Every structure is written in structure tokens, then in C-alpha cells.
Amino acid sequence: MMNRRDLLKTGGLAALGLILPPLSGPDFFRRKLLAGSAGGGNKKMIFIFQRGGNDALNTVLPRGDVDYSTVNRPTLFINDNQAIDLGNGFAQLHPAMAPMMEVYNHSLLNGVPGPGNLAILHRVGYPQQSRSHFSAQHFWENGVPGDEQLDEGMLYRRFASTPGFTDLPFAGAFLDDSLPTALRGSTPLPAFPGTADYSFAGSFAEVEKFLGLLPSTPGGTDGRGLYGAYGGKPDMENGRYRDLLMPTGVKLGESVSVVQQALAQGPYVPENGAVYPTNTFGTQLSEIAMLMKRTPAQLLGVNIGGWDTHTFQGGTLGTHATILGSLAQGIQALSRDLQDQWQDVVVVTVSEFGRTSIENGSRGTDHGAASVMFVAGGAVQGGVYNCDPTTWEAGAMFTENDRYLAANTDFRVVFSEIFQQVFGDDPSMMEQFMPGYDAAAAANPGLFTPLGFLG
Amino acid sequence: MFPKSLRFAWVAILLILGFTFSATPLALAADAPFRRGDVNDDGSVDISDPIVLLGYLFIGSEEPGCLDSADTNDDGLVNVGDAIAALAYIFGDGPEPPAPGPLNCGLDLTDDTLGCFTSSCDGGGDPLRLAAGHLLNRIAYGPKPGQIDEVVTTGIQQTIITQLNPVLGTDPNPTMDILEQNFTVAIPTAIERFVLRPNGRYRYFLGTEEPPADWTQPSFDDSSWLLGTSGFGRGDRDDVTEIVEINNGLPSVYVRTQFIQPATAVSGLPYLKMLFDDGFVAYLNGVEFARSLRTNGIPHLEGNPPTFDQYATQNHEAAFAEYYPIPPGLLQAGVNTLAIQGHNAVNSGDFTLRPQIVTMSLSGGGRSYFPSSGNLQRSPFIRGIYSEYQLQKVLGEFWENHFLTDEDKLKDFFSGIRNRYNHRVYGNSAGADKISNTLEFEEYDFFCDNALGQFGDLLLYSASSVPMLVYLDSILNNAAQPNENYAREILELHTLGVDNGYTQADIEEVARIFTGWSVTRVPNTMLQPFPAVVNNPVITDFHDMTETAIIEIGDDWHYFKGTEEPSPDPTGTNPGAPTTLWTQLGFDDSTWLVGPTGIGMGDGDDATVLDDMDNNYTCFYARKIFNIADPAMPEYLELAVDFDDGYVFYLNGVEIQRSSNMNNAGTPPPHTAVASGGHEASGRPDLIDLNHLRPLLVAGDNVLAFQIHNLSITNNDASFLPRLTAGIPTPRHVDLNDRQGKWVFRFNPGNHDFGSKAIFPGTPYELNIPDGRTGVEGVQDAFDLVASLEAHPGTAQFICMKLIQKFVSDDISLASLADGSAPLELQGLLASMISAWYSTPRPGNIGVVMETLLDPIDQGNAFWDPQFRRNKVKTPVEFVISTLRSLGSPADSDNLVGWASDMGMEMFERDDPDGFPEVGNDWIGTTTLLQRINFARRFASNADNDFPWNLADIIGDTPLGAQEVLDIFDEVLFQSSLTEAERCLALEYLESGLDGNFLPLDPTAADYSARVREMVGFLFSLPRFQFQ
């Protein structure tokens, strides 16, 4: 049990009317309200970006394709009896991802037979995939392949369109040093690598004085302290980046308060036997689960790095296997830990591209085209998609430039399904969330055929 | 400005002549924000303004401080038309004056020759000082106290010219070099020869009690001591003989060995070359000659000799060997005795003793080493804070980021290197770290020194630098299996920019160009500077020595199955007991079996299989006679033995060494003995140096004898794989873990693709590289490519664009250029810089390009356009350095590295090759802002002794009121450009207590400086300070 002194030490909590009475009436109401729920339902997303380009063929193995062979993949190839069968007589999962199978196959989790809540979506990409990490990540995040400039995220646009989202002090966050493009937009969301250090230095009173007060009207000059500076009149009219920096400063003060309040509820103990990976990624996922339970956040995300496996990628063991294992264990832990809200949660993984179908001379793989996505959550119709004897044509591993696995499904239609089926968004909004969506869908009807993984 | 009297004359003449007066008093259109029409600068446009204007125009009233505001109709002239426009507007008949105004402040959007020198508008201030501040925010890491005055005095033009022409190696501020030298170690370049190699046989004694007093003497009988191969120790996996007792708090280990110094001594001076952790005292022939020192110069150990139970009083890592001279006369021809007592630090699980004796012939010169990655990472801060050649350092950081390499990948590479016997060369990661730090530092140093030089030099340097060769996998790129990693990034990141004029096919061709590009190690005496290191590259790999096998694996040995003793004691009190008679040269082994090595069973690694050993006997014996003509030669004689599970080795009847799992098996061990622990023959053999056993060797036949013992009678795996070699050092001989050598570029023709190559085919920039080059000529492919790339318009565009992003505005990118949305001023600047790129005989002279960007003479291009001031978000490194510089604080702390890292920028450790972003969007986020604020407030309050600042240096000793204090910091930090709103916030912050109530600043109170410092922290936290 926290006592009052402990609460005070965490700093900035007076901003929360829940804990302390306002210091002075009128001033207090000039702060933004810091708690409450956004409109538009209680569905939430956890977004995981596998940065570096995941080798889809070493993640979900097309066992039924003769090209998946020791000829093409001398050191990467995994034997039939070492991989995990996905039940359609064609696709197998890398053995390191075994922990995820209890989400894939529900009975392993709760004894209820039948398909679980994990959809494995193979061969996801977009037309003319970029093989530059930086461009490719940008396109997956801004939702507009080909647009190098747009630095506003697809997820931001979707969530910001729900009523009240941008006014919330803690509508979402990304667990890293900085916000990825996917979550960027005109109203900043907080980003921090960990919750513990997300606080201002100084005593409670010092922090209170430093944070100060928002002005009575946006851009006004009667604020005080940090809120006064960042919520007040800019130092330059129409100055570059002021429209982003100023609200970021306000959001900083507010989100620190919310996060510290969440931490003040005591040490976080994962539930239902969830065990997160013992690395930074696992710690961050555990913090995401904590924030899912203790704050009104609707969109939380994290990066997992190490996928750029140009050299010594490994087979059943090795660097790629290790991070696949972390990812799988993380998804398993989330599904256990968040069982109470599992019906409202959707976990989505993406990676900017897959890799070359033929192993390179350094026992690794180079940048390729289509990759594999994982989508988990209570609403998900578990199964493997785009990797079965019916849709996987002969030579599929070399359909693009004779080197790469080509996309069979555009990532935008995957997100479109999620936005519509999970979040209840109107189909007409897809064009707004992903500018150019309608034209791209019309031009590539095959790529934009929904996979139906949400029932 | 014109003398007033002269202006009167002009007015009078013009009036007389009936001309409409137009005021164009100065060529320089200085700009401060203003409100158009607000001639009297009272904050609004009303009837008083045309009255003041008419008074100025016609009756000689004082000139308005802001002629732009008087130009009410914005036609570039101040005349009666402006008064008419103002009157029309005020009385409702005319349009509002063009922006800025009439209520908002802003900068003039129209090009004219009018200026605005003073204005009550927010963000006003002296235009010249503001311009100086802008310059220092861009070509320097912000102004230092007094530096604005310096620029104003020197002149902006001269300041730029000085910055564009740094003198190499002589920074006017010596502090930078002094600080960097503090964490480097100068190592003389020398040729080194071994007297006593690192892996010799020693007797050792665990310091659980005091050894006999004469243990250092040549005459001491050490036969009761344990036998082991150097180095001795525990932890870090860098030891040959593991001393597990270290884990139980063992304070000391004593080692001794004897070796022969030939009468014809090798030239050079003798040194003890010591790898140790944590402290030691060394004796030669009974005389102490070396004792390790703590960093403060005081020995780790005290007493003569130190008692066995002392702990070293400071930790010391065995990263690189240290050299201790051996006094003249101490090293004798003939037999010498080296004795060393090594002591661990208290509670340390890590201990190492690995002595060598070498002779060194100094060959002049010297090199520097960086002890830790923290110190490498401190360099950009030290240089940024102290260097007077700021532009060079800003650009040095820029190139370091442009040609980014990740130190971690380098460390992984070096720590993974193994020698020919599969031992980790840099077993202790600290060794690999230091090599990596040094190479990274040298790369950064080159980028600084050549920051204003030729782009093509920077590119070729980067391509051939060891960090880049490792980081982007060039070392794995070979003709049979090209690796495209570097090829992609040299086009995408280093020259043309993403998708800017190249194809996947070009990437594949460029990859072929860099096949065979690799790294190797050479002694310091063979080092070459850039560009010789790449023009005239080393083409063969490092070889320690030419090696001749005297006994090879697969040679026949005599062996005897251990079902009984091979030479039972025929006499004495204990008949049948084991003896070592079988190990002697004269022993008759003609009844023994003969078979090739390896000998053993299990694992399929044996040529002679003892298929009856399992469940039958636990040991076997092996003998081999070899012949050498002269025991003094060859110079290096080394026995390598891989084994399973334990062995005892004898040379000419004398036990030399045994595996540690045989330590308690008896002397000699009986045939029934078993090894106390398992050991696999893993390709990582024990190395036994025979050089200092020469007293035992004889001209003619000598005999090696081994007894090999299994773990148990039922263990089904045993092996014995011996190899004896003689070596002759090559001219490039240098130990891999020796500081007398360095990793450099190597071009390996054997891995190069000599076929013809076509890059950019079908374009005007097509590059065709012919086939038919041979050998080292293959390296020229890359020279052709560099020449092609530096002349390619895509490179000129991309590099100039990045320089504009860095120095002028983020609002330019390849994409915004492609679709034409980049601001026209920036497009114009880019065009002039690209012209400058091609204006030199060799395209891409960065100094010339930067001179065009900075426009020192006219100061009229986009760089000087007020709309691009304070429009760039500081990167974390810029934020940290500019904060410290602003108050004149010294940098002497690793903490700065940590702070910048917390803000999201840890130089030398970024995984991704794209470099840290330059665009503001990427540096605006809650965490980076939080860390900036936490750092700046901590710094302002002097909470860190490592980077203090003195308040009196800024505000003097005279007590000041709140307004005066704020005025001073407004000028120091912002050239007096704070807005009224910002000043109000700062003043309120300064003059309120923790309860939020008004609390006047009292200059006599004890908390005066603390409160001022707190306000300074607040100023650093303002949005304004996040910009440059």
C-alpha cells in the first residue's frame, strides 16, 4: 500500500484531481482533465514493429514448396521433423516460435478446442516494395507506399479520428526513445523506453512549480512554468516545428503524471502465468500490459530489433531463432496476461520486408519483398493465411525479380480488416487513414482481397 | 548609419528638387520583427503613425528605428505614399497594410533594401548580434559567453573565412588536445622478439600460506609445486590454467619458470611484457625488478616481499600487455629464473598472470590507444566544447554520422577472432573493445581533419576503413558469393541517396567491385597513412610465422595400452609401482604397438582406435622420438596437444606439464588413475612452449612421452592429438594481441571478381570497368567508382541537400526536390552549391561548397534569410554541447555521453547505417524533451561537479534585481530575443516560491544564486532553447 508520502515522491501527481485537492480552484480547472475514456469503444491495439526485415521464409516455412530446400537455403533450411506443423499440410512454424502455439491453438491455453486467436498472415507487402529499410519502414508506417515525405502515421490517423482521442493525456504511447512514424501526427503521443525513468527530477513541490499551469486559453500568456511555456504563445509566429514541439511539451507533463500514477499503484505482477522474455523487448511488453490495465491507453507499441540478418542467421538455433523466440514468448505472455481484456485487444506485428529466398554467401539473407504478419486477439480467427497448397503457386519464392517472395496481400487491406472488424470503422474511412487506398485497391484487386482472419 | 546632418541635407535637396523622398539608407537590409504601419512602435497602427512618418519625411524628425514598419504600403520605399496608405486604412477607406501587422509582429516577407533595426516586437534585438548568434548556432555548437562580441568585432565575413580554413593539428584552444591526451596512451613503435613466449610451462603455488623465503632464487627446488601452462587465472575465459580457488577468495598465486637466454642475444632491450589482473611483483634471478602500479602511481602491493595474504588495492584489467624494462645485466646468458607473485583484488572473480619476456628495438613514431568506449564517445563533446575550429568539428560529426559505423559490430568481430589453435586472441573483451575504440576514433579524427576537404577522399577513406569494412560486411564479400550490404548503402546512404539514379543491378555490380576487400593486421612498422593504405594495399593475410611441422597429426607413435604399468619399479620398497623410466630416451619401446595419431576411441576422431579400452583400461601411453640438429634452433618450438580427458607430458624423461584434471593423480600417475574432470578434444589444444626447455633438449634424438587418462573406466571417449612445430618469424611477425600491430585494409585478389563491370549502364554516367586487371590492380575498380560517384550529379545533389538540411533548413529532401515542393530559396541555394561542387578541378570540394552555403561576402543567400533562423531542432549532441558552451562550462565527464544517449543519440553505437536523423520531427518527442529538461536543470543548478559553471562569470558580483538578471541571460542565451511572454514566464518563475506565491528575488539572501540557477534551468527548458 502506498502512503501519501510515496505518492508525493513520484512527482507531478497533484495534476491529478483524483489524488490531491486542487491547490487553488480556478487554476486547477485550467489544467486538462487527465483521466477518462475516449469515445469509440474500448478496443485497443498493441503494435509491434520487427525492425530490420524479417525473413518470412525462416519464420513460416512453406514446407510444401520444393523450392524450400537445402539447395536454396544450405544453412538456414530446417528439417521437416524439427519444425512445428501448422495443420494445413503445407505451412510449418519455426521451432523457436513454439510458445506462440498456445495462442494459435486455443486448447493449449484454456482447454477449449478449436482454432485460437492467432492469425499468421504470410506474403504481406505492397506493390513495388522498397528494399531500403528506411523507405520501407516509412511506407508501412505512413500507410502510403511511395510517399517518402508524409511523416504522419496510419495508426495515428485511425486513432486520432475517434472522438476525444487527441485530448486524452494518455491515449497511447510507444515504448522507445522516440515515436515511430506510425504514431506520429499533429497531436503528439508520448514515447518512452521505460516507465521508471519517465519522471521529472526534483521534489514534489519543485516539480509542481516547474510544471506550472496551462494558460486559460490555448496560446494565452497567463500560464506558468512549463505548461505556460508549451501551452502558451510561441516564441516565433509560425515558427518551424512549434506546432509539434509545443503540444509535445504539454503532453510530456501530462503523460508523466499518468505514468507515475500508474506506477504508484505498486509493482506490476503479470497474471495467468505470463512470463515475458528477459530482455528489453520483454520488459517493455510487460510495461505495455501494465499500462493497458492501469491507464486509459488505447494504442501501445514497441520495436523489436535484430531482424537484418545478412550474416550467420542460423537455423533452428542462432540469432534469428533467438529473436523469433522472444517475439513468440512475448505474444504468448501478452495473451495470458491480458486475458481479462483479450476480447478487446488486438496485437499486430509488422516488418518492413522479407528477405531473399536464396541464402547469401555469408550464411544470411539480404533484403527482399513480402514478409509475414502476426495478428492476435480475442476477435481473431486463428489460422495460417496465404501459405497453403491452394494459394501458394509453384515458384512463389521467386515471383518477384526472380529473387523474392512476392506479396499476395497488401498490408493496407490487413489493417483495413482490423480497423473495420475490430474497431468498427466505416469502410469509407480507409481512404482517410491510408490516402490512396481506394485507387490502390482498384488497381490491385487481388492484393486487396480481404483474408477474413477476423471472421 | 548616415550622419544626421548629412541626411538633413539630402532631405532638403530632394524637397527643393521636388523629388519624392525615398529612404534607402543602408545596403544591408537588417531584419527584426515589426508591425507594418506602426511607425512609432507603440504596438498599434493609429493616427500617431502617419504623423510621425510625415514628421520624419518632411520636418527632419528622428528616423524611425524600423524603416520596414514605416513602409506601410510595402513598396520597398518610405515616402509620402506610406502616410497616405496609413491614413486611408485608419479612416476605413483603404486596405490593411500588408503583413506583418498591423497587430501581429513578423518579419518582412518582401525583398527590399529597407531595414528594421529596433522594434518593440517580440524577438527583437540587435540584428547584427542576432546574425552572429545564428551563425554560431549553425557553424558552431552555439555561442560561448563573449563570443557574440568576438564575431561582431572580427566581422562575420572574417569569422566564416577563418572557420573555412582550419589549420590542421593546431587548434588555437589547447584544452581539446590536452583532454584527449589524458585518455590516450602513447605506445612507441617497436620491433619485438620473444625471449620467453606467453604459453610457457611454469611451476605454481597457491597463496594459501607464505612460500619458502627463497622461492624467487634460481636454486629453489620447485618440484613440489604444481605444473601449469601460462596464463594462469580465472574469469574472462582468457586463461589457460584455471585457478578455481580464486573464486573462494584466494589472495595470491606464485609462479616460476626457467628459460635460456642464448649467448648471442637478440638485439634490442629486454622487457617483461605483462598481462595481469590485478597486481604483481616480478623477480628475475632472485631480484625484484617490476611491481605493478595503481592509476595514482602507488604500487598495488606493499612490503618486500608482499605477504601472501595481501589483496591488490585496486582492480586492473588484463586488456593489453604492459611493459616493464629489465635492468641491464639482470638477464644473463644461459639459464634465467623468472618468479612472479600475482595478487587478486578483494572480492574479484577475475585473475590473470600471463608473463612474457621480449626484446624491443624502437623504430620511432608512436600510436595512441583509447582505453574505453566511454572515452571515444567523449571526444565529440570535448571537441565541440573546446575547439576553436567549430565548423570543422560540426562537419566532422556530420561525416561521422553520414558514414556511420557501429562500434558494437567491430567489438563482436574482434572478440570472435581466433588464432590457429582456435584460442580467442582477444579473450578478454576489453582487448577487443580497445582496438575497436581506437579504430573508431581514428576514423572520426580523419573525418574532422578532412571535413572541409574532398568528398571523394572521405568516401574512399570510409570504404577502406576497418570499421566500415566490418560494419557493412565487406569482409564477407567475395567473388563467389557477393554480399550487397555495403554496395547498397554506398549508393543509398553515402552518395546518391535512396532511389536517386541507381538500380538493383547497379547494387549488384558495385558489390562485385568491393569483392576481396578485407582486413588484416600489420606491425606498426608497416603502417601507411591514407591514401597509401588503399593505393598500395597489403594483399596477403597476416602470418605470425612460417611454420614447419616436426611431428604432424597422423604421424606414427609408439603406444602402450594401460592394462598394466609400462615400466613397473623393478626394485625398491614398492616393486611394481609406477616409474617414469618409460619416458626416457633410452627406454626400449620396440615391443609397443605403433599407430598414427590421433589415438583413442569414440567420437570418430581417432586414426588409431583403441576398441578394447572401454571397460578394460583407463589410460594409454605414447612415445615419439624426434631429431633436432641444434637445440638452440629453430627459434620457436611449440607443442600443441588436443586431448580427452587428461594427460601428463614428459620431455626426455622430465615431467613438463599435465592437464589440471590430473593434478591429484599421483607422480607419476599409476595406470589405474583417472582424470578428475572431463575434457573434450575440441580443436582448441593446449599449447606447450618448448623454447625455454632448451636445457633439456639435446642435439640428435629427443623423446616426447605422454600418458593419457580417461575420466573413468566406462567412459567411451578418449583422444590424443599431438603436433610439434618449428616456426620462423615473418617480417610481419607481431602477436595478434600485441599493441605493436594494427588492423588495416587488405585487398585480397583471391576473392576479387576480375570480370568487367558496368555501373549506371545506359545513363550519361555509365561506368565501365574492364576485365583483365590482375592481382592488386583489382583495387582500382573502387577508385574508378569513387571518381564516378564524386562526379555524379546525384551525389552532388544528395550531399549538398544534406548540407542544407544540416546548416539551413530541414524543409528540403530528395522527395521535396523531386516534386518541387522544397522552398524556392533552398532550391536556389542547392543550385549554387551544386555549381560550386563542380567548380573545382576535382568535383566535390566541401570547403568550396560550404563557402557557397555560408555566403560570407554578401550574406544575402538563404542561409541568412531570417525565415530560416531558429527553425532547426537541436540534436541531443547539439543540445548538450550548446548548453555547456552557453555558460562556459568545461566538459570533463562521461556523463555527457550518457545524457545524450538518454535523449536518443549515442554516437558510435547506432545499429542502423542511416545515421542519426537531421530532421526536427525525429527529435521532438516526450522522452527526448524530458531528458533535455532534466539535463539542463541539473546542469544549471550545478548538481554535477563534472561540468560546473560559475554564476559570477555570467552576471558579475554586483547584486542584481530579477529584471537585470533576466536581461543578462536573455542576451547570453538568446541575444536578447526573448518575447515578452517568455520574459513574463521566466520572471514569474524566478520570483515565486514553491507555494506559487510571489517571492521577490533578494540579492543578499543565501538562496540568491540557487534561485537564479533555477531560472536558468527554466530558460534552457523553454521551446526557444530547443532550436538553433
For residue A231, being part of any structural domain is answered with no
Which one of A244, A362, A367 has the shortest CB-CB distance to B924?
A: A244
Total structural domains within chain A: 1
Mutation to test the B interface, candidates A49, A129, A177, A197, most B Cβ within 10 Å = A177
Is the Cβ pair B926, A255 closer than 8 Å? yes
Q: Which of B1027, B925, B928, B897 is nearest to B974 (CA)?
A: B1027
CA dihedral B963, B967, B973, B975 (to 10 degrees): 150
Beta bridge partners of residue A190, listed in sequence order: none
Q: Residue B292 phi/psi, 5° resolution?
A: -70, 150
Is the Cβ pair B872, A240 closer than 8 Å? yes
Range of the domain at A379: 43-198+268-443
A256 touches chain B (CB under 8 A): yes
In whole angstroms, give the CA distance from residue B737 to residue B721: 26
For A176, which residue in chain B has the nearest alpha carbon?
A: B927
- Give pLDDT, residue A45: 98
In whole angstroms, give the CA distance from residue B695 to residue B334: 9
- pLDDT tens, position by position, B882-919: 999 999 998 766 689 999 999 999 999 998 899 999 99
Indicate whether B482 and B462 sit together in one domain.
yes
In whole angstroms, give the CA distance from residue B82 to residue A343: 70
Q: Which residues have a Cβ under 8 Å from the Cβ of A5 and sit 6 or more positions away?
A: none
For residue A259, being part of any structural domain is answered with no
CA dihedral B881, B887, B890, B894 (to 10 degrees): -40
For residue A29, being part of any structural domain is answered with no
B104 touches chain A (CB under 8 A): yes
For A150, which residue in chain B has the nearest alpha carbon?
A: B815
b/e per residue, B490-519, with b = 16+ CB within 10 A? bbbbbbbbbbbbbeeebbebbbbbbbbbbb
A62 touches chain B (CB under 8 A): no
Q: Which residues in chain A (288-317) have CB-CB distances under 8 A to chain B? A: 305, 310-311
A145 CA to centre of own chain = 18
Indicate whether B575 and B480 sit together in one domain.
no
Q: Residue B569 phi/psi, 5° resolution?
A: -60, 120
In whole angstroms, give the CA distance from residue A214 to residue A218: 8
**Amino acid (1-letter code) at residue B160:** I
For residue A285, being part of any structural domain is answered with yes
- Fill in the DSSP letter of residue A309: -
For residue A37, being part of any structural domain is answered with no
The residue to which cell 557574440 is assigned: B148
The residue to which cell 588484463 is assigned: B318
Is the Cβ pair B924, A130 closer than 8 Å? no
Mutation to test the B interface, candidates A241, A319, A366, most B Cβ within 10 Å = A241
Is the Cβ pair A241, B871 closer than 8 Å? yes
To the nearest whole Å, the CA of B606 is away from the closest chain A CA by 27
pLDDT exceeds cutoff 70 at B7? no
- pLDDT tens, position by position, A38-77: 334 689 999 999 999 999 999 999 999 999 999 999 999 9
For residue B913, being part of any structural domain is answered with yes
Q: Which residues in chain B (248-267) have CB-CB distances under 8 A to chain A? A: none
Burial class, A365, CB count within 10 angstroms (exposed 0-12 / middle 13-18 / buried 19+): buried
Q: Which residues in chain A (332-361) have CB-CB distances under 8 A to chain B? A: 360-361
Show residues of chain B in contact with A229, CB under 8 Å: 982, 985, 1021-1023
- pLDDT tens, position by position, B149-190: 999 999 999 999 999 999 887 788 888 888 887 777 666 666
Q: Which residues in chain A (142-171) have CB-CB distances under 8 A to chain B? A: 147-149, 151
Burial class, B162, CB count within 10 angstroms (exposed 0-12 / middle 13-18 / buried 19+): middle
In whole angstroms, give the CA distance from residue B112 to residue B145: 34
Give the three cell numbers for residue B966: 533576466
Q: How many beta carbons lie within 10 A of that of residue A333, not counting itself?
A: 22
Is the Cβ pair A191, B912 closer than 8 Å? no
Is the Cβ pair B924, A229 closer than 8 Å? no
Q: Which of B634, B632, B424, B606 is nearest to B549 (CA)?
A: B634
Mutation to test the A interface, candidates B930, B933, B1015, B1021, most A Cβ within 10 Å = B930
For residue A205, being part of any structural domain is answered with no
Give me the CATH number covering residue B286: 2.60.120.260
Indicate whether B767 and B686 sit together in one domain.
no
- Fill in the DSSP letter of residue A70: T
pLDDT exceeds cutoff 80 at B543? no
Is the Cβ pair B1023, A305 closer than 8 Å? no
Show residues of chain B in contact with A230, CB under 8 Å: 1023
Indicate whether B804 and B785 sit together in one domain.
no
Is the Cβ pair A237, B872 closer than 8 Å? no
Indicate whether B667 and B799 sit together in one domain.
no
- Give pLDDT, residue B602: 81
Mutation to test the A interface, candidates B909, B926, B974, B989, most A Cβ within 10 Å = B926
Residue by residue, DSSP assigns B742-788 as EEEEEE-GGG---S-EEESTTSTT-EEE-S---GGGGGHHHHHHHHH
- Give pLDDT, residue A14: 37
For B100, which residue in chain A has the nearest alpha carbon?
A: A237
User: Which one of B101, B121, B141 terminates a domain?
Assistant: B121
In whole angstroms, give the CA distance from residue A312 to residue A320: 9
Cβ(A379)–Cβ(A346) below 8 Å: yes
CA atoms in the 13 A half-sphere facing the CB of B416:
7
Which one of B476, B903, B981 has the shortest CB-CB distance to A361?
A: B476
Q: Which one of A60-74, B228-242, B368-382 scores highest in mean pLDDT?
A: A60-74
Q: Which residues in chain B (865-884) have CB-CB distances under 8 A to chain A? A: 870-873
User: Which one of B320, B352, B368 terminates a domain?
Assistant: B368
Indicate whether B674 and B651 sit together in one domain.
yes
Burial class, A78, CB count within 10 angstroms (exposed 0-12 / middle 13-18 / buried 19+): buried
Mutation to test the A interface, candidates B504, B921, B927, most A Cβ within 10 Å = B927
To the nearest whole Å, the CA of B202 is away from the closest chain A CA by 39
Burial class, B477, CB count within 10 angstroms (exposed 0-12 / middle 13-18 / buried 19+): buried
Give the three cell numbers for residue B878: 547539439
Which one of B871, B902, B903 has the shortest CB-CB distance to A240?
A: B871
Average pLDDT over chain B, rounded to whole?
Answer: 87
- Give pLDDT, residue A40: 46
Indicate whether B749 and B813 sit together in one domain.
no
Least confident window among A387-396, B419-428, B486-495: B419-428
In whole angstroms, give the CA distance from residue B788 to residue B767: 7
Indicate whether B330 and B448 sit together in one domain.
no
Ranges of H-type helices in A105-241: 106-110, 133-142, 154-160, 204-211, 225-230
Show residues of chain A in contact with B483, CB under 8 Å: 310-311, 360-362, 366
In whole angstroms, give the CA distance from residue A322 to residue A311: 14
- pLDDT tens, position by position, A366-384: 999 999 999 999 999 889 9
Q: Which of B908, B897, B902, B894 is nearest to B928 (CA)?
A: B902
For residue A168, being part of any structural domain is answered with yes
A248 touches chain B (CB under 8 A): yes
User: Which one of B847, B868, B889 terminates a domain?
Assistant: B868
In whole angstroms, give the CA distance from residue A336 to residue A344: 14
For residue B181, being part of any structural domain is answered with no
B1022 touches chain A (CB under 8 A): yes
Which one of A148, A236, A248 has the shortest CB-CB distance to B925?
A: A248
Collect contacts of A230-235 with beta carbons under 8 A, ≥24 apart: A230/B1023, A232/B981, A232/B985, A233/B979, A233/B981, A234/B1023, A235/B122, A235/B123, A235/B870, A235/B978, A235/B979, A235/B982, A235/B1022, A235/B1023, A235/B1024
For residue B799, being part of any structural domain is answered with yes
The residue to which cell 609401482 is assigned: B577
Does the model's pTM come out above 0.80?
no
Q: Which residues in chain B (488-517) have CB-CB distances under 8 A to chain A? A: 488, 492, 498-499, 504
To the nearest whole Å, the CA of A428 is away from the closest chain B CA by 28
CA atoms in the 13 A half-sphere facing the CB of A107:
3
Least confident window among A98-102, B812-816, B977-981: B977-981
Show residues of chain A in contact with B105, CB under 8 Å: 237
Show residues of chain B in contact with A242, CB under 8 Å: 1023
For residue B917, being part of any structural domain is answered with yes
Least confident window among A110-124, B371-385, B795-809, B891-905: A110-124
Q: Which residues in chain A (356-375) have CB-CB distances under 8 A to chain B? A: 360-362, 366-367
- pLDDT tens, position by position, B855-870: 999 999 999 988 899 9
Cβ(A214)–Cβ(A30) below 8 Å: yes
pLDDT exceeds cutoff 50 at A18? no
For residue B1012, being part of any structural domain is answered with yes
Beta bridge partners of residue B410, listed in sequence order: none
- Give pLDDT, residue B181: 76
Beta bridge partners of residue B641, listed in sequence order: B686, B722
For residue B133, being part of any structural domain is answered with no
Instruction: Number of A to B CB contacts under 8 A, please give it.
Output: 185
Least confident window among B163-167, B358-362, B679-683, B926-930: B358-362
Show residues of chain B in contact with A135, CB under 8 Å: 498-499
- Fill in the DSSP letter of residue B323: E
- Give pLDDT, residue B221: 94
Q: What's the angle, vertex CA B986, arms to CA B980 and CA B991, rounded to 5?
A: 120
For residue B557, being part of any structural domain is answered with yes
For residue A194, being part of any structural domain is answered with yes
Cβ(B123)–Cβ(B34) below 8 Å: no
Total structural domains within chain B: 6
Range of the domain at B279: 188-368
Give me the CATH number covering residue A92: 3.40.720
Of the pLDDT bands very low, low, confident and very high (cuts 50, 70, 90), residue A6 is very low
To the nearest whole Å, the CA of B101 is away from the closest chain A CA by 12
Indicate whether B659 and B751 sit together in one domain.
no
For residue B637, being part of any structural domain is answered with yes
- Give pLDDT, residue B872: 97
